[in-house]
Amino acid sequence: MPEAAVEMVKRGSADLDEPRTTVALLRANAVVGVKGVFEGDRLTSIGIQCALCHSTVDDSLSPGIGRRLDGWPNRDLNVGAIVASAPRLDRYGEKLGVPTDQLKKILMAWGPGKYDAELNQDGKGSGRTARPERRYCPPLSAWRA
Give mean pLDDT, residues 109-120.
79
Mean pLDDT of 30-52: 89
Predicted confidence (pLDDT) at residue 30 exceeds the cutoff of 50: yes
Same-domain status, 64 and 86: no
Total domains, the chain: 2
Residues 102 and 51 in one domain: no
Of 41, 70, 99, which marks where a domain is finished? Answer: 70
Chosen domain end from 22, 47, 70: 70
Calculate ∠ Cα 13-79-10, nearest 5°: 15
Are 66 and 92 in the same domain? no
Kindly state whether residues 58 and 85 are assigned to the same domain.
no
> Residues 66, 88: one domain?
no
* C-beta of residue 134 within 8 angstroms of C-beta of residue 73: no
94/121 same-domain check: yes
Averaged pLDDT, 39-54: 88
Mean pLDDT, rounded, for 83-112: 88
Residue 139: the pLDDT is 47
- Write down the pLDDT at residue 126: 57
Banded pLDDT at 122 (limits 50, 70, 90): low
Q: How many helices (H) and strands (E) does the chain have?
A: 7, 4
State which residues form the domain around 112: 79-142
